[in-house]
């Protein structure tokens, strides 16, 4: 009957031992550096020096018993990963909302300062108005009324040279007559004004104009 070499050595020597844990080993014998190591329920008892040696080599998922990480199911791993993603998202969202809050707080302070400035300006203006009502102003003296200037007569006035200056009415009539470009229109104008134009139908336009003015000025 053969004996398992590792347990036999452990029983017949004073070597210190350690327990190794490999979750995927189950109940198998696995070679580490050419030495067989038997696992029972994922645990193997080995020489302390040998166990420390193979642990330094960093075999995947191999730990000293009691120092292995807590087992997590695939669902737990997924939840943990999802939690990290959510945590990162919430951290970013928190930073964004903090920035928005700080910006709004700054804007509120600016508006409050502006309202305060307007309020102070209003109070100054109001105080000046109240003071103006309480202290009536001195009465303003009424301007002296001057006698209306006498209007110049509209009748023709004889100038120094003896010429007669036309009134505004005659000047306006002369302007209107000169605006008529046809002799027939001048004759009709005179007739409409009640002037006998029989003798002036063959006269020059300038003579007709002077005739109408003279007759009108009688």
pLDDT for res 85: 78
Angle between helices 168-178 and 205-216 (to 10 degrees): 150
* Whole-angstrom distance, CA of residue 190 vs CA of residue 205: 12
Please check the confidence at residue 20 and state whether its pLDDT lies above 80: yes
Distance of CA 105 to the CA centre of its chain: 17
- Identify the band that residue 178 occupies on the pLDDT scale cut at 50, 70 and 90: confident
Please check the confidence at residue 1 and state whether its pLDDT lies above 50: no
Average pLDDT over residues 40-60: 89
Average pLDDT over residues 201-206: 84
* Whole-angstrom distance, CA of residue 156 vs CA of residue 178: 20
- Identify the band that residue 12 occupies on the pLDDT scale cut at 50, 70 and 90: very low
Q: What angle do CA 189, 190, 196 make, to 5 degrees?
A: 150
Stronger pLDDT, 22 or 199, i.e. the higher one = 22
- Identify the band that residue 159 occupies on the pLDDT scale cut at 50, 70 and 90: very low
CA atoms within 13 A on the CB side of 207: 7
Q: Which of 112-116, 151-155, 176-180, 213-217 has the lowest mean pLDDT?
A: 151-155
Distance of CA 22 to the CA centre of its chain: 64
Whether the full predicted model's pTM is greater than 0.85, yes or no, is: no
Of residues 55, 64, 50, the one with CA closest to residue 21 = 64
Q: What is the mean pLDDT of the chain?
A: 79
Please check the confidence at residue 124 and state whether its pLDDT lies above 60: yes
Backbone CA torsion sign across 66, 43, 25, 52: positive
pLDDT for res 111: 93
Q: Are 47 and 5 within 8 A, CB to CB?
A: no
Please check the confidence at residue 216 and state whether its pLDDT lies above 60: yes
Please name the residue that has the structure tokens 């928005």.
100
Cα–Cα separations (whole angstroms), residue 179 to 145, 175, 183, 185, 213? 44, 6, 11, 10, 14
- The percent of residues above 90 in pLDDT, for the chain, comes to 12
The per-residue DSSP string of 70-129 comes to: PP--HHHHHHHHHHHHHHHHHHHHHHHHHHHHHHHHHHHHHHHHHHHHHHHHHHHHHHHH
pLDDT for res 29: 92
Please check the confidence at residue 108 and state whether its pLDDT lies above 60: yes
What is the radius of gyration, based on Cα positions, of the chain? Answer: 64
pLDDT in tens, 67-83: 888 877 778 777 877 77
Please check the confidence at residue 99 and state whether its pLDDT lies above 90: no
């Amino acid at each position: 009957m053969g004996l398992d070499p590792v347990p036999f050595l452990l029983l017949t020597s004073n070597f210190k031992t350690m327990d190794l844990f490999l979750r995927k080993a189950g109940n198998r014998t696995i070679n580490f550096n050419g030495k067989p190591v038997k696992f029972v329920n994922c645990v193997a008892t080995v020489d302390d020096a040998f166990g420390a040696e193979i642990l330094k080599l960093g075999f995947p998922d191999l730990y000293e018993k009691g120092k292995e990480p807590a087992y997590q199911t695939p669902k737990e791993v997924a939840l943990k990963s999802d939690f990290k993603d959510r945590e990162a998202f919430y951290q970013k969202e928190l930073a964004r909302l903090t920035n928005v809050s700080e910006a709004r707080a700054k804007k509120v302070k600016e508006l409050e300062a502006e309202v305060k400035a307007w309020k102070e300006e209003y109070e100054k203006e109001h105080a000046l108005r109240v003071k103006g009502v309480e202290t009536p102003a001195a009465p303003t003296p009424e301007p002296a009324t001057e006698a209306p200037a006498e209007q110049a007569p509209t009748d023709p006035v004889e100038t120094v040279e003896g010429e007669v200056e036309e009134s505004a009415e005659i000047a306006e009539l002369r302007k209107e007559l000169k605006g008529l470009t046809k002799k027939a229109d001048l004759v009709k104008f005179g007739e409409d004004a009640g002037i006998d134009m029989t003798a002036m139908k063959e006269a020059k336009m300038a003579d007709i104009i002077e005739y109408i003015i003279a007759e009108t000025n009688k």
